[in-house]
Structure 1
Amino acid sequence: MSEAESSAFDIKAYLAKLPHLPGVYRHIDASDEVLYVGKARDLKKRVASYFQKTPSSPRIGHMVARVVRIEVTVTRSEAEALILENNLIKSLRPRYNILFRDDKSYPYLMLSGHASPRIAYYRGSTQKKGQFFGPYPNAWAVRETIQILQKVFRLRTCEDTVFANRSRPCLLHQIGRCSAPCVNEISPERYSQDAERAARFLGGETQEIMGDIEQRMQAASAALEFEQAAMLRDQMGALAKVLHQQTMEDTDHGDTDIIAIVASGGRVCVNLAMVRGGRHLGDRAFFPTHTDGDSLSDVLEVFIAQHYIDHPLPATVVGSHVLPDPALIDLLAESRATKSRFLSRPQGMRRAWLEQALRNAEMALANALSESGARSARTLALAEALDLDTDPMALEALHIECFDISHTAGEATQASCVVYAHHAMQPSMYRRYNIAGITPGDDYAAMRQVLTRRFGKVADGEAVMPGLVLIDGGKGQVEIARQVFVELGLAIEVLVGVAKGDHRKVGLETLVFADEREALVLGETSAALMLIAQIRDEAHRFAITGMRAKRAKARNVSRLEDIDGIGAKRRQRLLARFGGFSGVANASIEDLGSVEGISPELAERIYFALR
């Protein structure tokens, strides 16, 4: 590690001290910002390569000119360096690294660990009890697969609390989508067998399952069990139809990811298509930033490194370009204790998949270019209206936060913060703040509290200051914001209030500034005002939904508290047993009475109090 400043930074002396070992390096500028994070098999050789007379690209040349310090971390292996590099990239988001914004976890299809397994759409950790299949590229692919399983294997989709409390079959049973294990229309053994076949189907054993169903159908027919034979015939017909529709079926049933990359108009699109259990599940497009001067092979390498650190590595990865470092897949496989291979010249069905992925990438990029042109034009209009930096890179990096307060007559007060960056709203960066310790209905006190909590972290150096802070409100709210910023020692020029126009009509808002500037009315035709109104309305929507959820939770819990004989412990046992208030409300008297501490008389009292 070097602590030298720019004028004293002796690169030759520093390089002489670097070891020939694997590790991670960080280029840092005069303001202590990490400009670039990279990994190296040999730190000495890799870091030295940046300081040649001819930089590898204009972007890297600009970056090297700003470097005043380099920090390195030695690791035990290159695979360990790869993991550390990508963790640092995701946490620091250096401006000269190629970055992929992927703020959503991938959906899975779950077969629960219940005695009568439930099929469900699922996002989150796959370490819990049950079987997980995926990941899938989008929610549509999961739901389509669930529909297939309902048609063929008639598995249930209802919550466990609903399953445990049903007294008659639901509508899905009546239309042939569920075998109704909840009311014993099918035996537990037969249902478990259907669930197991569904799992095998998801694993790619389609032909084996077809043969198994056919044998069972013939056996049932020979035993004169014609109703059972007819049901199996219908299952086989539904499965045959599904397989016929799946024109992109693989013959070896392996898991494969296909990565196609195209570039146009100064932007790059990475299209990821997924094949699981031999079935093509669709694709998903990514648009990386900071790719200037990088080849598409470099982009492919960075995508693979960043993506598979967090997501499962399939048996085969097909790419549209050759990997600059062929050992990358081996490093990822080593870190995941698995095996995988990379193909850049696939044959047969994989070649057809790659060609389709390339066409989809071109279409996605064309759409993104037309949309991003309009979005960037609105950001430019906003920057011009408010005298902000209009440089394209500054506009891309412009970070806007908007705050709003919501409550119902002082009840369940919440503040919302929404974020606009990279010419689009960024839902993964939204935040809600519960407001407490104020007079109910005091919006000024609520605004003071949320701004103090949010920007106290900026003052302490724990968070970055946005380029623009919008406040949903007029002079009063802006004055509160100004006081908070002055107390924290922050610049007030970034504060702008959005005062509602007559009848709250969009287009008639007035912009109120915290400094000495006059209030500004942009007019109904202003693209800048339309963007501000969009951000303000999103903050209002986000605050309203959070407040309503908080209010409903508080009211439901209070309904339990209002029942004589229900204290904190009994309330907690009820909520835990039935999975929340709705489960308690739907429970029968017998089920309520089975909870520890709930007598038959109290169970009856709860039952009628909640109806």
Structure 2
Amino acid sequence: MSTVPRSAVAGLPSAPGVYRFRDDRGRALYIGRAVDLRRRVGSYWGDLGDRRHLRRMVPQIAAVEAVACDSAHEAAWLERNLLQRSKPRWNRVRGGAEVPVYLHLDRRPGSARLSVVHRPPTGPVTPDADHPVGLFGPYLGGTQARLAVSALERVLPLSYADDRLSGGQQDMARARGLAALDRAALLTTVTAVLQRQPDAVETVKHQLAEHRTRASDSLAFELAARIQQQIEAVDWIVAEQKVTTLAPTDCDVYGWADGLLVQFEIRQGRMCVWKQRACPSAGAQRYLERTPPEWRAFAARSAELASLLHA
């Protein structure tokens, strides 16, 4: 067995990301994702546990490639996109197990609410005066999305800030100190959270943590555990995730370091192709100039990691 992959593990960051194994002919063997790249990739040379089917693959690994992502959610999307485009031999399924979903925010009086949808609704996806709805996402994992919606409803209860409530709902609204006039402020805060505005996110997470503490102090441990799951779900949906977007963007992203050019193709808003090859500095410049400014830091970081693993 080659010692190259084992030594390459030390060069991996302890960060979320996607990794790829290649054999000595350069063929892709396997694509996977990790919350901690160094620990996950290193595990292939230890006890594979429930991944016993990969034992025959490990002796064939001649090279390790990796991309560090800004969140576990981003890594999940990148893995899914790559596998949907091309499935290596040792991957069992094309794509991923998680279900892609969206969050749909309806701002209309009488129906203001946040809900999980599996397909984008027709019409505008951003709110305006004539179409007061908004679409956010996509997100991977219906369970996480529903938990996040429950979390936001717990501290930003849109359903009780309406002027069309039943008698029981009116009683609940009064108990929570809510009125229809509060709807606009709640909608603004929900939107800010879904837009990943740091102050709004931290405020909501702090309020959820207070609910969790009160539940724990009251010995309602199951409720406290549920709220903790909701906090983690909020973290999931607000984490940086740029490799799959609503915008149908097409572009190529390039990074270069020490003679190695890394390329990512983004088609219809999805980063779906990842390549790397040897390239001199002079030849790389024309590619680097094509990279959109918002992708340059990601591309440069990816090229530096590729170079480190290739050395």
What range is the shorter-chain TM-score in? 0.3 to 0.5
TM-score, scaled relative to structure 2: 0.37
**Please, what TM-score do these two structures have when normalized by structure 1?**
0.21
Q: Which has the larger radius of gyration?
A: 1
Identify which of structures 1 and 2 has the higher relative contact order when contacts are C-alpha pairs closer than 8 Å and 6+ apart: 2
